[in-house]
Structure 1
Amino acid sequence: MDMTVKERILIEANKVIAEKGLNRFTLEEVAKEAGVSKGGLLHYYPSKDKLIKGLIENYIVTIEAKVSETDNNRSKDTSHNWLISFIHEQFNQCKIDSTTMYGLLAAVASNQELLEPVLEKRKEWFEKIGKSKDPILSIVISFACDGIAFSNLLGLEVFPEDTKVKIMNRLIELAKDCY
């Protein structure tokens, strides 16, 4: 399947941020890396803030699709599938693709208002996990997953892979206790 120009721009924007840092994150640099003219980029993302917002929205869509896919592939005999799927995807995201998170860092660095879509989505996620018999433990589990993801993103990950697997498995066991 061919990727759209818009998708290619987002992928290359993440790469520019990841490889060259926020200071070299310019629309010109992204257009060059995406193989489009600056005008072509501006057609889809008329400003740097709009591009960062696009990165954030893409992140949300991607993580939610992965959680839903994992959830749909699980047995439907338990009510805690969503939280367990969320745990799996947060840990898998750490292993597979940290560049999708660079848009979030760019947003925090440049304009916190760009995080609004993330805040809205997190409210939805916390509503889901808040329906457990132990909503506080469910929230703690979610924050532990965030901590692992951000530690990886910032290069602060100190645990070997087998320890991360043990942490993930323990969080899953705790999640089962929440329902």
Structure 2
Amino acid sequence: MRLVIARCTVEYSGRLSARLPEAVRLIMVKADGCVAIHSDGGAYKPLNWMNAPNTLVCEPDAWRVTNRAGERIDIALAQVLSDVTVPLGHDPGLVKDGVEAHLQELVAEHPETVWPGAVLVRREHPTAVGPVDLLVRGPDGAAVAVEIKRRGEIDGVEQLSRYLEFLNRDGEP
């Protein structure tokens, strides 16, 4: 994991165009190649990011991240305040316990409680935007992403919206 704190500007071009004006930001480069640009707010959600696989070219004052879809992030580094690389090693993954894990197991065993006639496709279904707790297929074939949360909060709604946007856009199983 490489963590760079820098005063920078960020330009994204691809499906749309977006610009982050100059400010101090955290740039994360994960071992799998994912690049995420964060501010000092907004919880876990990056301001801009590009999932792996991609290509990252780092010059002293400019980085360019590109992918096969033709998307590009250009990061102009005005001042690097910190640049640290730490190998995090093997990640054992998230171990769920308590109420969420039990409820997920029950819904996986009985997906018709979500939608009569629904069938379970997969638990912990991996997507480019994160793992979906349960991927279910409705009787009409529609994909249904099920997320189990201890508390219903806006972050969970945003997470579910990202999953559904991804599943509907990319025609996932």
Structure 1 or 2, whichever has the larger Rg, is: 2
| Structure possessing the higher relative contact order (Cα contacts under 8 Å, 6 or more residues apart) | 1
Q: Which has the higher helix share?
A: 1
Structure-2-length-normalised TM-score: 0.22
Q: Which has the higher strand share?
A: 2
